[in-house]
Chain A
Amino acid sequence: MEYFLELFFSGLTRGSIYALIALGYTMVYGIIGLINFAHGEIYMIGAFTALICATVLTIWGLPPLAVLGLSAFAAIIWSAAYGLTVERIAYRPLRHAPRLSPLISAIGMSIFLQNYVLLAQTADFVSFPALIPDFAWLEPYRSIIGSSDLVILLTTAVVMLLLTILIKGTKIGRAMRATAQDREMALLLGIDVNLVISVTFVIGSALAAIGGVLIASHIGQINFAIGFLAGIKAFTAAVLGGIGSVPGAVLGSLLLGWTESFATGYISSDYEDVFAFALLVLILIFRPSGILGRHHNQKV
């Protein structure tokens, strides 16, 4: 039972990180119908920004949780700026081009950003300081859930709540949903669709940055390529839940996290990535549009 709970929580932690990244894929897809392949790199850039920031702040002697908060803040700003810029230079000029063009542009952006960080930083893994202290009161449950897992879960929960409020309850959130459903009609109502798209990229990038900081602190090391696998997994989760659907992305991510965690825990850790993609293939055979995806192809 204890082993089960341990796997449950480690799956939940993984799933939370996937969800933070998957939301960016699914929201951007929902609004402009594009798979933003550079999204994993935005997450990676978030982790690097936090690393640089954390190193400086730690030298200044700030307490770890303050360092974590400030680094995360810097990562959010910096990643959001990157997301915004990528949309401006790589996707917006291609908005009316054939569907394949922005996709190729996205792949190009992904490769460019990876190599840019590779050159600017290093090819090796660099260690990331453990910014989440061990909570003494969590000691009795140590074998089930670690303090960094707990911080990741709580942060993700709060972020999801804020995102839901934003999407459901604010004017810009309404405009985002309207644009996803019928962009031309949104324009006719005077919605500034360019602004809506920019906001979507900013939010998606900010969420990915939070994921990047949390996972970097959890695992303890990063390099320029971490965005690739994390990006593909999160994308898988988004497709699993039904790409374009916000609750679907969260559900798909949790499902993926648990699948990986339980399968590696009970079966074998050699095939960790195989399970994830086997799950994807299975779901897509039985529900081609994902768990919460709409059957008739909704116009985006």
Chain B
Amino acid sequence: MLKMRGVEVSYGKICALHGVDLEIRSGEIVTLIGANGAGKSTLLMAISGLARPIQGCIEFLGEEIQALPPNRIVERGISQVPEGRRIFPQLTVRENLELGAFCRHDPQGVRDDLAYVFSLFPILASRSQQLGGTLSGGEQQMLAISRALMARPSLLLLDEPSLGLAPIVIRQIFSIIQKINQEHKTTVFLVEQNANLALKVASRGYVLENGRVTMTDSADNLLRHEGVRQAYLGV
């Protein structure tokens, strides 16, 4: 579904990605693990069209997308939940959700999806008239995921959804991510520093170090791999 070949991204003189190759197949949950500063967020921004690769290509559903403007990429079915959730604090929960559907022109489908995300996260329904900035961290993450789902993506990119949340909230959010993947056949690309959790829900994983993919395997094998266990699982 998504293929990256030799993708290089740099910020001025700092090279953040040195030729990344990666593939995500339809229906999978794939995770990308790596330390802080490895280039994970940059990789997602490159897919979404906010960081322009200076080399390499990104193919989505057989077409190159690395030169498309961000709105065209969303229209093709890729939505991102960025690091830090980035809820619009001065807009209501409902307005945040409606903006998620900005690129769509099927009002009935949008209404159905609004009902769907409210069924996933009932708390959002009861807070729908509240300003986004007044939600708790966990609620903001739920809103951020729901907002991305409102675009009805076929590929959902999640950047560290567990960051700064309580364990119980993290478990709830991860089980919803699995549910979305199963019920809607939404392909999920999950970026995490919390490798343990990510590898448990994913079927495959990539390890990113200093802007390079250094390892890729099934999630089970990565969980058992000595180097990965030491570097990312803290055992």
Contacts and interface: CB of A to CB of B under 8 A. Distances in A.
Contact of B88 (A182, A187, A192): A182
Interface residues of A, number: 16
Interface in A176-193: 177-178, 181-182, 184-192
B48 interface: yes
A163 to B, nearest CB: 17
A190 B101 CA distance: 9
Nearest to B95: A174
A190 B88 contact: no
Contact of B75 (A178, A187, A190): A190
B89 interface: yes
Interface in B143-159: 147, 151
Given A174-B99, A175-B102, A178-B99, A188 B82 contact: yes
24 contacts: A171-B102, A174-B91, A174-B95, A174-B98, A174-B99, A175-B99, A177-B95, A178-B88, A178-B99, A181-B88, A181-B91, A182-B86, A185-B86, A186-B99, A188-B48, A188-B50, A188-B70, A189-B79, A189-B100, A189-B102, A190-B103, A190-B151, A191-B71, A191-B102
Contacts, number: 61
Contacts of A191: 71, 99, 102
Interface of B: 48-50, 69-71, 73-75, 79-80, 82, 86, 88-91, 95, 98-100, 102-103, 147, 151
B82 A185 contact: yes
Closest 3 CB pairs of A and B: A190-B74, A190-B103, A190-B71
A8 B6 CA distance: 69
A155 to B, nearest CB: 29
